[in-house]
């Protein structure tokens, strides 16, 4: 599993021009599911995301989590994170999980993140989405398990 975590001051996702998810201060996640990903990896990733201390405290040190600051999370599925362009010019997505497995883990991720003390919004699995964000910092962390 690969997740690009971006600290944002705002982010939203649209499908066919209609907003389906929107947050203010928080985290925007681009989530790639690998064919060999398990629920154990998902559990680790959700705990890491909820506890990741990338928000500043009173001393301007990154020492607070998204829960600590009352932030929100926008979760976007993105199988292209497993695109391999090592050979040729067209990426191969052979390592990305198939739609069934990826959809199941994506839905479970949303449910697990909702168990935290945060608002959770999401994109639409399998849809063409327009994602907007204002990266705060910028702060971008790549998590892989």
Catalytic residue, from 6, 55, 79, 112: name it. 79
Catalytic residue, from 38, 80, 115, 140: name it. 80
CA 101, 106, 111, 117 torsion-angle sign: positive
Give CA–CA dist 137/7, Å, rounded: 7
Catalytic residue, from 6, 55, 78, 112: name it. 78
Query: Does 78 qualify as catalytic in the annotation?
Result: yes
Query: Does 80 qualify as catalytic in the annotation?
Result: yes
Q: Convert 75-114 to b/e letters by CB count within 10 Å (16 or more is b).
A: bbbbbebbeeeeeeeeeeeeebbeeebbeebbeebbebbe
Catalytic residues: 78-80
């Amino acid at each position: 599993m690969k997740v690009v975590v971006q600290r944002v001051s705002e982010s939203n996702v649209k499908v066919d021009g209609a907003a389906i998810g929107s947050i203010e201060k928080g985290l925007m996640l681009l989530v790639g599911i690998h064919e060999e990903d398990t629920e154990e990896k998902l559990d680790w990733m959700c705990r890491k995301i909820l506890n990741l201390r990338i928000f500043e405290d009173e001393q301007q040190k990154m020492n607070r989590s998204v829960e600590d600051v009352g932030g929100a999370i926008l979760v976007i599925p993105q199988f292209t994170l497993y695109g391999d362009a090592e050979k040729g010019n067209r990426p191969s997505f052979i390592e990305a999980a198939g739609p069934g497995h990826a959809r199941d883990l994506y839905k479970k991720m949303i449910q697990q993140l909702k168990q935290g003390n945060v608002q959770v919004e999401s994109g639409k699995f399998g849809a063409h989405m327009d994602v907007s964000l204002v990266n705060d910092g910028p702060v971008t962390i790549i998590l892989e398990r």
